[in-house]
């Protein structure tokens, strides 16, 4: 789940990530992560709006991205910024890290728990749901880190 979230957040940050938001969404959709999130029930927990919002923010800059994930686990590049002002804390996610921390997560050597423990990753959203989907979530974070630009 965490991998999915990372990938989704990467999709919305065109200024911070390689390519454009739609290209990142396409890469996410081509992975196994959407199927994993549907199977676990994560994708269907959308608060009745038909999609989850995933925001990725680069701390200390104006770089951000927002993805919408539908009930089938497919990502849409909604905005090349974090537009949704009021997230539903029961279903939506916002992740914030410095460019250095995103890049470090992209190596796969230090995962989201390491960066959260040492303050490099700020996470808002349903923590229990994310913990139950740690594999996809970690993959998502790696994808963001691999696509980050200076």
23 Cβ contact partners less than 8 Å away, ≥ 6 residues apart: none
The C-alpha torsion from 53 through 54 and 58 to 64, rounded to 10°, is -50
Question: From edge to edge, which strands make up the β-sheet containing 64-70?
Answer: 75-79, 64-70, 51-58, 93-97, 121-124
pLDDT tens figures, 60-118: 988 888 889 999 999 887 766 677 878 999 999 999 999 899 889 888 888 888 888 89
Q: Tell me which fold the domain 2-146 belongs to.
A: Nonspecific Lipid-transfer Protein; Chain A (3.30.1050)
Please tell me the pTM assigned to this model. 0.78
Pairing of strands 93-97, 51-58: parallel
Q: Where are the domains of the chain?
A: 2-146
């Amino acid at each position: 789940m965490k991998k999915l979230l990372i990938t989704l957040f990467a999709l919305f940050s065109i200024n911070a990530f390689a390519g454009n938001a739609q290209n990142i969404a396409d890469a996410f959709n081509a992975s196994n992560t959407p199927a994993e999130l549907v199977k676990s029930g994560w994708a269907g927990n959308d608060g009745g709006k038909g999609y989850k919002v995933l925001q990725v923010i680069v701390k200390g800059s104006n770089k951000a991205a927002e993805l919408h994930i539908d009930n089938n686990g497919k990502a849409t590049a909604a905005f090349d910024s974090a537009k949704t002002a009021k997230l539903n804390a029961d279903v939506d996610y916002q992740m914030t890290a410095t460019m250095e921390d995103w890049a470090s997560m992209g190596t796969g050597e230090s995962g989201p728990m390491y960066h959260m423990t040492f303050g490099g990753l700020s996470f808002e959203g349903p923590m229990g749901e994310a913990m139950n989907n740690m594999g996809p979530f970690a993959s998502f974070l790696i994808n963001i880190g691999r696509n980050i630009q200076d």
